[in-house]
Amino acid sequence: MKKLTTAFLMMNPTGTACGSVGNNALSNGEVIDFINKFFGGEIFVNDNWDEKVKGYNDIYGICEINAKIHRHISKKDRLELYEDSNLRDTIEEYEEDFETLSKDDLVGFVFQYLVSEIGDGSARYEDGCLDDNGMIYFEVE
């Protein structure tokens, strides 16, 4: 796996291999803010992250994403996020109850929402996807 910092993501349009064609989902401002705030400013991606998406010379296609949670979403953050009905609906589509999600799962589902819905890319989180090293996993589908 390779580490990508938010400084890199801001300077290099970086998208996910799936999602809208030519997406810059990981370089989206809201996604970068989230990575800075909750993942310590860095994510880890598949080894072939630097392969350009066919036909787009400046777009990177990420196939899987891992990140270490450095900070959990506070109660205040949770209340603000709950007001976003699109986020709430998206989480409930996965048959998860927004109000009872664990701290780790809430971080995972919010990041999924930002990358997929706001950034037009793809990141799929399944609850409980935290490994022994505290890394959270997202599949790009």
Map out the domains of the chain as residue ranges: 2-139
Q: Which residue has the higher pLDDT, 103 or 94?
A: 103
Residue-wise pLDDT tens digits, 19-29: 887 788 999 99
Residue-wise pLDDT tens digits, 35-74: 999 999 999 987 665 555 444 445 556 778 999 999 999 9
Q: Which of 127, 107, 111, 110 is nearest to 62 (CA)?
A: 111
Q: Which residue has the higher pLDDT, 91 or 21?
A: 91
- In the predicted structure, residue 138 carries a pLDDT above the cut 70: yes
Give the pair of three-digit tokens for residue 20: 């809208």
Residue-wise pLDDT tens digits, 98-126: 888 888 999 999 999 999 999 999 999 98
CB 47 within 8 A of CB 1: yes
CB 26 within 8 A of CB 121: yes
**pTM of the complete model:** 0.87
What pLDDT is stored for residue 119 in this prediction?
93
Burial status of residue 100 (CB atoms within 10 A of its CB: 0-12, 13-18, 19 or more):
exposed
CA atoms within 13 A on the CB side of 121: 32
Instruction: Annotate 47-114 with DSSP letters as a single string.
Output: TTTTSBPTT-TT-EEE-EEEEE--SPPPHHHHHHHHT-HHHHHHHHHTT--GGG--HHHHHHHHHHHI
What pLDDT is stored for residue 4 in this prediction?
92
